[in-house]
Structure 1
């Protein structure tokens, strides 16, 4: 049986909180991720910190992506093609650890998020399907 890969990957959109990094997302976020990777260089981090908007304007990213960076809306950035490993350069530039940044994506405090992860992660109960909640 041959399945359409795009239809198959679209099924993952039904899982709450899940964003599969597909080829389509990679294409959408290419420049966004290039911007994030530029922050590996100290000179670029300094320029970004000095004037975030001006630095972002140097990149061929959408206004929506720029605003999501300025808002530090990591969930939105993932939706717009950001790769979490590249976006780590953004929150690292802000002096945040991975745990601190990711806790903001869950709406939990750092302490609650860390305790949840240390206890084995989020329970899958009620997290299987968006469609089933309608």
Structure 2
């Protein structure tokens, strides 16, 4: 782990590493290897050759490899090399053209158990109650 100036840490799982088990980290995580288990961390960056077989939960995630499992992230970027098999829950979502996802997308809502009035035609995009979707070219 290398320490950054703001006392946070960054951990790397190399391309030759296979982890069988869940990972929970308060640090930012970069995964190039294989993880057979769930990942829970602050920020996840997944390399193109990486395979994650399990759920992912992160504040922010940038996915470029293969994921077989559900994903829950506040800010999610799915790159064109990504292959996802599972449901995706997000607050803000960016998908590059060419990315492959087999599953359902659901916008996270702070009060999912409560009924909400339908959106008015004049609501502004990008408001806190609106899902954000960006397509990258």
More strand by share: 2
TM-score, with structure 1 as normaliser: 0.28
Task: Name the larger-Rg structure.
Answer: 1
Quick one: higher RCO (CA 8 Å, sep 6+), 1 or 2?
Answer: 1
Structure with the higher helix share, 1 or 2: 1
